[in-house]
Amino acid sequence: MTNLKCIICKGDIDKHYSSDGTMYWDQGHNAEPIADGRCCDRCNEDIVVPHRMADIFTEHKNYYKEDNDGKSTK
């Protein structure tokens, strides 16, 4: 079984082991919307998750901006 590579940093994707040594997780995280593939723990935490947070924040800003522009269709 080959190691999956992180699509962002090209490093090996971390394997997670349970306390008895059984590997139960080696598929990485969904790297979208940064990249179409899988990424490692570090890239997920440092890049993908903050990016998603920023996207949510931006959507909210646009929503309120439109609201304030008075373009109401109601």
Residues in contact with Zn ion by the rule CB under 5 A: 6, 8-9, 40, 43
Report yes or no: 25 and 18 within 8 Å, Cβ to Cβ: no
**Which CB sits closer to Zn ion, 41 or 66?**
41
Q: How far is the CB of 33 from Zn ion (least distance, A)?
A: 16
SS3 category, 7: coil
In the block, tokens 């304030």 appear at 68
**Which CB sits closer to Zn ion, 9 or 34?**
9
SS3 category, 39: strand
Residue 62: enclosing H or E segment and its boundaries?
A: helix 49-68
Q: How far is the CB of 25 from Zn ion (least distance, A)?
A: 15
**Which CB sits closer to Zn ion, 4 or 9?**
9
Q: How far is the CB of 9 from Zn ion (least distance, A)?
A: 3
